[in-house]
Amino acid sequence: MTQPSPIWFISDLHLDISRPAVTLQFLQLLKNLEESNTQSLYILGDLFEFWIGDDVLDHSLGKPFIPIVDALRSLTDSGCEIFFIHGNRDFILGELFSERTSIQMLPEHHIIDLYGEPVLIMHGDTLCTDDHQYQTFRAMSRTAQWQEQLLSLGVPERIKQAIAMREESTKTTREQSDEILDVNQSAVEAVMLEYGVKRLIHGHTHRPAVHEFELESGQPMQRIVLGDWYDQQSHLKYDSGGFELLANNVTQTYRF
């Protein structure tokens, strides 16, 4: 009997017209997944460096995104289910993009069944609770009022604003300590207890690793962190026997 193909997880691709080689690598990945009859692909946020609204797809400035849309649609048409969780750079990705690609949008925290085990998946930015400045912006930018105000602007003006926000974010990140930018362990434990899971998969921090820890009760837990795609070429392949986490040309293998 043919073994089902592994389930794939990727995050933090940050696709951008300034990095065409990264986009080409992603398109090749989608082609490879299609040829190997992959059953499921989970994209855990920050597919794009920034996203200013789905209407960009019908604007002349959105032409660089068309090959990405077409490749995603080709993969879903082949029978592969693609699931997406919004990241901090592409949280305005909406229904039109979903319709044209047939990807399925998931809530920011979501439990999936991986071969009989409930596993929590998310982008991961909600775990960085020590970064108060970002969490304040996050709360504001997720409101309907903030998003409606942004989308009321023309596409060129939105691009200018997105670039300005990205530059400000980069500057702030350089000034913050590694501890502030990483996840808060108490937040990790709290959300895993809330959802009743022993395994969590997320991205966002660009710090690929497999973290093993125990709760005060002695319950063993595991947190799998995806790296970015544009620099570390990180991805996670998960099957019934275990998983492989690849980043920086190094593969960590865990068997159950």
Which candidate, 87, 80, 40, places its Cα nearest to that of 229?
A: 87
Known binding residues for substrate are 88-89, 131, 169, 173, 176, 204
d(CA 253, CA 244): 5
Please give the annotated binding residues, written as ranges.
12, 14, 46, 88-89, 123, 131, 169, 173, 176, 204, 206
78 touches 36 (CB < 8 A): no
Number of neighbours of residue 109 by Cβ within 10 angstroms: 16
Tokens 């009997």 belong to residue = 1
Per the annotation, binding residues for Mn(2+) are: 12, 14, 46, 88, 123, 204, 206
Query: What is the C-alpha to C-alpha distance for residues 82 and 105, in angstroms, rounded to an integer?
Result: 9
Work out the number of other CB atoms within 10 angstroms of the CB of residue 207. 19
What CA–CA distance (Å, rounded) separates 2 from 39? 13
| Spatial distance between the Cα atoms of 77 and 80, rounded to a whole number of angstroms | 7
Task: With beta carbons less than 8 A apart as the criterion, state whether 173 and 205 touch.
Answer: no
Do the beta carbons of residue 237 and residue 8 sit within 8 Å? yes
Across the beta sheet with 235-239, the strand order is 104-105, 81-84, 40-43, 7-10, 235-239, 242-247, 250-255
Range 128-142 burial, b when 16+ CB lie within 10 A, else e: bbbbeebeebeeeee
